[in-house]
Amino acid sequence: MPRNGRSWAFAGLGGAVGLVLVSLLRGGGWLEDGVVQDEAGLPDSTIRALDVEKPVPVQRRHAQNQAPEVLPQAGAPGADTTTSTAARLGDPTELTCLLPICQLHKDTAPRLFILEHTDGAGHRLKSVLEAIAISWRNNINFGGLVGQLWPLTDQHINIRVVVDAVFGAGASQKLYIYNITTKPRFQFKFNDVRALEAQVQLARPSAALFCQAVNEWGYDRSVPASDYFPGWLRDQMRKHLDLQPLVFASGKISDRKSGLTGAVTGTSLVSQQDPSACKLQVCNMRDPSAPKLYILEHTDGAGHRMKSILEAIALSWRNKLNFGGLIGQLQPLTDQHINFRVVVDAIFGPDASRNFFIHNISSKPTFTEVPSARELEAKLSSFQPGTLVYCHAVNEWGYDRSVPTSDYFPGWLRDQMRQHLDLQPLVFASGKISVVMHLRRADLERSDTRATPDAYYYGLAEEIKKLLPAENLDFHVWSSPKNIPAFDYHFWKSEDFDGYRQRGMTVHLDEKIDDNDDMLKAWVHMSRADIFIMSQSSFSMVPAYMNTNCVIFPSNIDSPLENWVNGKDQQRSSYRTELAKCVGHANKDRKSGLTGAVTGTSLVSQQDPSACKLQVCNMRDPSAPKLYILEHTDGAGHRMKSILEAIALSWRNKLNFGGLIGQLQPLTDQHINFRVVVDAIFGPDASRNFFIHNISSKPTFTEVPSARELEAKLSSFPPGTLVYCHAVNEWGYDRSVPTSDYFPGWLRDQMRQHLDLQPLVFASGKISVVMHLRRADLERSDTRATPDAYYYGLADEIKKLLPAEDLDFHVWSSPKNIPAFDYHFWKSEDFDGYRQRGMTVHLDEKIDDNDDMLKAWVHMSRADIFIMSQSSFSMVPAYMNTNCVIFPSNIDSPLENWVNGKDQQRSSYRAELTKCVERAKQRLVQR
């Protein structure tokens, strides 16, 4: 299976050419001296050489510059036109380019394949165009390229991106089909175009033809070049380039070609205000002005590549940096021909790879460079805000043994790294303790010491069976007997794993290349196993970093995490105790019904059944004190505001959040089911984690009346203390402490992550401005009913700073009083002033409507500019909104991206408002 082995590279061009020739010569017959040779080198009796000086004309000719008639594109049986066919190596008739430009003749016509070049973009694309032209002239279709699947040109240009730009999004998946080491046996092979055209008429329908070189397509000067390149075909080749803007002077005749400007949709990153940094949440967990860390992109195995990314994120977290991305060769294929971009998207979410892989090593910006993690931490204090730091190697992040590894890899961060894998299905037996072993075999010779012997794994299995009943255990083995594609020999075979099968273990062998799915399934199961037994490989390190259960490592790791135990040094006095504790941890998790993370709610393993198990509740050490708060029973705003403040208070004070103590009363004063609201904000079944204890039957707590008192007594709480705080609303009492210590940007994004999945009604391409008007239960004379003039005035101020045509105004409110009263102070007509100003008004005029209420929070929390009201209902989305938030002056602890919209006489008002609005403008640019 894919894993990180020794990196390999050809010693030079001679080595590369040698490998190509060896692979080609093994794959079928060659045309020599005008005669096609079979596999044994004997003349093929089915074909006779044509003793002619020029090729016999093809039977069907096309008038010059006349497009062919449109023929049905039936496609081969089983062909998939929407995805790459690279993984379906079967009948050659199924593996062919299905782009319209490849299929210019009947679908039964022979198909031409050519060699993929590995030098410059010009030579590469020139060959493709010539092959298409030769196919057209000779009444055959173009099947695609056979080569090394090596995307980078000698100028470090990603030719796959270029091909997609020239032939359309996804074209590269249809042109690059076969790998030189796994190509089929073509029926006909030719050295050049002259040989191909001499015998092409003898090819059977749908025959697969391979031509080594197409550059001499015009060898016969008597044949018009337009027979190969008719005008309509050249227009077809250029049609996607015709969609690009030009820099030519208007009205003048251009004498040179235009370069592309901007990005081609679907093939490269679009321009951004800051194109040089990763925008993912996991990359931005510190202050936006913090220095950014960049690392080298490795080009070997998937394990080493992903391991470096995880270590860079952890190193960034510990040192209060943000992670900017990778600097490298933009080389997506691993040494196992796994598409690492697909892997990154699977681990970190769709399009994550577009955020990580940004700069090319030959065109990177100016960085402050450091050679190692040790050097980085030594120079940390010298980095200015916003410094771009390039670290050549992060693998020694744990060099200082006095620093707990949890400072780099806290449990909540490891859960965050694993969250997308938690959504995948498992093959583990239900109700049993899963034990996963990873055996590194594949590229290792049998004598290699890194090929940990079977006896080690058998021994650990027996040790585990002494600690847990055998009938409760479910053993799985993941490995691969297949060497990397650079070599055509293998050291291992399936029979080498029979010892595991005989012991009742399920063996999963990856015996294919270019198989992202099998590789990812391995990481899914290793990262979520109750007990994971590692191998000596980077491939094992990746899921081990993510697995917060019991991990057993093979003694060669310098910085094991706190839930890992050394499985090799069995002579040490503590070995049996450590192993028993690790295995016991897995057993307790199984008894509580948890197996690591649970789909949809990101549950972490805990012993205490009376505490919240959500990831957002468990961001500190498992032994840290737990904070519980009072459940309010009034409006949804006050209720949710308290939960967010409790989570923030827990974060700042290195506590975990246990949940709420209250009346277990789900309905708000608006008859909104607050359990449904909690599940919408924090994920399915989240409410089961938050609402645990009843106030009349709560356990024994250490009680404190307020956040101020809690922080004063913090040092007196022993590990595991259950702390009950009656009120957390004054969390920001100490003005000397930055509010970002409680509500860092990454935590606010985490609070909002489920709302980010909901659709928006904002106008595309405009800056969204959302106003929340508190009306409903307030009399018209109530000072908390902020007057319309305040909102109108702010709208006018914003229009002075931004063009009115770029703004999209929305108003959310409700004229309906709470159900306890049968009279109302407000009506829909009271909002006509907003309508007359071109604003979209959204009124909630129903009770018991969870959806309308949640839609309001979705839009308020994600608006480019959010203008709050004087209400807890506004506070909730304001805590989550990291853009521009304008508050109405009555808030004691505004967050750092909020600006006071009421005290307009202060000297700094206009500058503050301008800065806030400008931030919203930049978001529009980034979109």
* Among candidate residues 173, 807, 800, 832, the one with its CA nearest the CA of residue 516: 173
Give the mean pLDDT of 769-775: 95
**pLDDT at residue 234 tops 50:** yes
Give the DSSP letter of residue 470: G
Q: Give me the chain's average pLDDT, please.
A: 81
pLDDT recorded at residue 513? 53
Q: Please tell me whether residue 465 adopts helix, strand or coil conformation.
A: helix
Q: Comparing C-alpha atoms, which of 222, 204, 221, 360 is closest to residue 294?
A: 360
pLDDT of residue 30: 36
Residue 578 has a CB neighbour count (10 Å cut-off) of 15
Residue 7 in this model has a pLDDT that exceeds 60: no
Residue 623 in this model has a pLDDT that exceeds 70:
yes
- Contact in structure between 653 and 714 (CB atoms under 8 Å): yes
Lowest model confidence (mean pLDDT) among 134-138, 268-272, 408-412, 898-902:
268-272
Angle at 395 between CA 393 and CA 399, to 5 degrees: 110
Condensed to tens digits (0 to 9), the pLDDT of residues 688-712 reads 888 877 776 778 899 999 999 999 9
What pLDDT score was predicted for residue 591?
43
In the numeric block, which tokens belong to residue 100? 């319209």
Residue 512, pLDDT score: 66
Residue 460 scores a pLDDT above 50: yes
- Helical ranges in 468-608 per DSSP H: 498-502, 516-528, 538-546, 575-591
What does the pLDDT look like over 547-566, one tens digit per residue?
999 999 998 788 999 999 99
pLDDT of res. 250: 72
Instruction: Give residue 1's pLDDT.
Output: 44
Beta-carbon count within 10 A of 753 CB: 16
What number is the average pLDDT over the span 367-392? Answer: 94
Residues 566-577, mean pLDDT to the nearest whole number:
88
Q: Determine contact, residues 605/599, Cβ cutoff 8 Å.
A: no
User: Distance between alpha carbon 464 and the CA centroid of its chain, in Å?
Assistant: 35
Domains of the chain are: 13-50+67-242 (no CATH), 281-408 (no CATH), 426-591 (3.40.50), 615-751 (no CATH), 761-926 (3.40.50)
Looking at residue 779, what is its pLDDT? 86
Report whether pLDDT(846) > 70.
no
Rounded Cα distance between 873 and 723, Å, is 27
Contact indicator for 397, 391 with CB cutoff of 8 Å: no
Residue located via tokens 């239960």: 777
| pLDDT for 924 | 66
DSSP 227: G
Whether the pLDDT of residue 723 is over 60: the answer is: yes
Tokens 């009124």: give the residue: 843
Q: Name residue 169's amino acid.
A: A
334-345 pLDDT, tens digit each: 777 788 888 999
3-state secondary structure 810-866: EEEECCCCCCCCCCCCCCHHHHHHHHHCCCEEEECCCCCCHHHHHHHHHHHHHCCEE
Q: For residue 884, what are its two tokens?
A: 């521009």
Q: Which of 450, 438, 656 is nearest to 551 (CA)?
A: 438
What span, in angstroms and rounded, lies between the C-alpha atoms of 594 and 377? 37
The H-or-E segment that residue 179 falls in is strand 176-179
Supply the pLDDT for residue 73: 31
- Asked if 486 and 456 touch (Cβ cutoff 8 Å), the reply is no
pLDDT, tens digit, for every residue of 236-261? 899 889 888 888 887 676 543 333 33
Radius of gyration of the chain (CA): 32
Helix (H, G, I), strand (E, B) or coil at 772: strand
Lowest mean pLDDT among 2-16, 102-116, 385-399, 808-822: 2-16
Which stretch of 286-295, 396-405, 509-518, 674-683 has the lowest confidence by average pLDDT?
509-518
pLDDT, one tens digit per residue, over 14-47 is 333 333 333 333 333 333 333 333 333 333 332 2
More confident residue, 899 or 263: 899
Does pLDDT of 610 surpass 50?
A: yes
How would you class 298 by CB atoms within 10 Å of its CB: exposed for 0-12, middle for 13-18, buried for 19 or more?
Answer: buried
Pairwise CA distance, residues 395 & 315, whole Å: 10
Is residue 857 pLDDT above 50, yes or no? yes
Looking at per-residue pLDDT, the higher value among 70 and 629 belongs to: 629
Inter-residue contact 163 to 91 (CB < 8 Å): no
DSSP string, 326-342: EEE----B-TT--BHHH
Facing residues of 295 across strands? 326, 391
Confidence bin at 466 (pLDDT 50/70/90): very high
Side-chain-side CA neighbours of 311 within 13 Å: the count stands at 26
Q: Which of 80-89, 473-482, 724-733, 813-822 shows the lowest mean pLDDT across its residues? A: 80-89
Encode 75-124 in three state secondary structure: CCCCCCCCCCCCCCCCCHHHCCCCCCCCCCCCCCCCEEEEECCCCCHHHH
Is pLDDT of 4 > 80? Answer: no
What pLDDT is stored for residue 389 in this prediction? Answer: 95
Quote the pTM value: 0.50
Q: Which of 859, 890, 857 is nearest to 639 (CA)?
A: 857
CA distance 111 to 154: 29
Burial bucket for residue 884 (CB in 10 Å: 0-12, 13-18, 19+)? buried
Contacts of residue 767, defined as CB under 8 A and 6 or more positions apart, other chains included, come to 802, 806, 807, 808, 864, 865, 920, 921, 923, 924
For 496-506, how does the pLDDT look when each residue is reduced to its tens digit (9 = 90+)?
Answer: 999 999 999 99
Does 117 have pLDDT greater than 90? Answer: no
Element (DSSP H or E) covering residue 476? strand 473-479
- 3-class DSSP state of 19: helix
Q: Best-predicted range by mean pLDDT among 152-161, 170-179, 364-373?
A: 364-373
- pLDDT at 483 > cutoff 70: yes
The pLDDT of residue 810 is 98
Q: Contact 131/114 with Cβ under 8 angstroms?
A: yes
Residues sharing a CB contact under 8 Å with residue 88, sequence separation 6 or more, in sequence order: 78, 80, 94, 95
Is residue 889's pLDDT more than 70?
yes
Residue 52: pLDDT band (50, 70, 90) is very low
As a whole number, mean pLDDT of residues 862-875 equals: 95
Q: What is the mean pLDDT of residues 579-590?
A: 78
Tell me the three state secondary structure of residue 423.
helix
Q: For the residues 272-286, what does the mean pLDDT come to? A: 72
| β-pair partners for 796 | none
Write down the pLDDT at residue 299: 80
CA distance 286 to 698: 37
Sequence-ordered alpha helix ranges (H) in 423-515 = 454-467, 498-502
Element (H, E) at 436: strand 433-438
Average pLDDT over residues 125-137: 95
Q: Residue 664 — very low, low, confident or very high, per pLDDT cuts 50/70/90? A: low
Percent of the chain residues topping a pLDDT of 70: 81
Residue 75 scores a pLDDT above 50? no
